[in-house]
């Protein structure tokens, strides 16, 4: 009778421990060295076992961070109103954001057209990483007309929320005018920021939002990690 390969036995053991709840969604597995010591094998054997778990969709390797148990993708509804914190909280996830860049600069052609400005008119640019339960799920770059919202950068830093910052600038409500969704792959910078591998699938949205009078208030790009978020189009 053929023996079960050692790597497969290790994979089956870890699979069973994940199924039993010893490792939950989002948990980091022990390192290759720790697993090699536990099972008295070399790291190559452990690496093959971990590869098998990833091929089954049970784990994900994050460059420089380790191997993590996969969580079920979170539904992210895109309808008239898109609010990151509210959407994730409704899904039972903890939503946080990390600011990467906040600057005021001249608008480029695409930004000016999207916001109804002249090319070169000043815009505020807000870039950040969105996290669900401390796991990066999306990158965002949002552009606002600077002349209309001179105090927006300070409001964004104070509130950490676009909705609250716009409210502080006099925009009580805003809705999506349009959203375009495209499949792309992560470049090296995006992969590093999102803890994924270069070339991993992303869903990119380009959106324009307007206030209650129909004036354009923001133009945003968001890059969602394909296996961590499910974009749901509503309405």
- Average pLDDT for runs of 10 along the chain of length 235: 82 87 84 95 94 80 81 71 70 80 97 97 96 84 97 93 93 92 93 82 93 96 84 73
Instruction: Give the chain's end-to-end CA distance (angstroms, integer).
Output: 58
Global pTM? 0.72
Strand pairing category for 122-132 and 95-106? antiparallel
Going by C-alpha positions, the residue among 223, 219, 221, 206 that lies closest to residue 121 is: 219
Tokens of 122: 């000043």
Q: What does the longest C-alpha to C-alpha distance in the chain come to?
A: 77
Tokens of 105: 């600069």
pLDDT of residue 129: 93
Q: Are 20 and 58 in contact (CB under 8 A)?
A: no
């Amino acid at each position: 009778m053929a023996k079960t390969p050692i790597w497969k036995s290790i994979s089956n053991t870890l699979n069973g421990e994940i199924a039993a709840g010893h490792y939950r969604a989002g948990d980091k597995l022990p390192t290759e060295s720790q697993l090699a010591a536990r099972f008295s094998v070399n790291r190559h054997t452990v690496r093959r076992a971990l590869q098998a778990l990833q091929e089954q969709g049970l784990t994900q390797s994050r460059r420089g961070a380790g191997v993590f148990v996969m969580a079920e993708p979170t539904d992210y509804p895109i309808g008239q109103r898109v609010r990151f914190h509210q959407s994730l909280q409704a899904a039972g996830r903890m939503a946080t954001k990390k600011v990467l860049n906040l600057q005021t600069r001249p608008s480029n052609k695409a930004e000016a057209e999207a916001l109804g400005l002249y090319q070169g008119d000043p815009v505020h640019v807000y870039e950040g990483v969105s996290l669900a339960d401390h796991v990066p799920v999306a990158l965002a770059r949002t552009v606002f007309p600077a002349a209309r919202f001179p105090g927006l950068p300070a409001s964004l830093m104070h509130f950490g929320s676009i909705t609250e910052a716009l409210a502080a600038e006099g925009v009580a409500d805003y809705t999506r005018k349009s959203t375009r969704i495209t499949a792309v792959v992560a470049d090296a910078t995006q992969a590093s920021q999102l803890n994924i591998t270069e070339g991993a699938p992303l869903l990119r949205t380009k959106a324009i939002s307007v206030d209650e009078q129909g004036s354009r208030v923001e133009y945003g790009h968001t890059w969602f990690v394909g296996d961590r978020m499910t974009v749901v189009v509503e309405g």
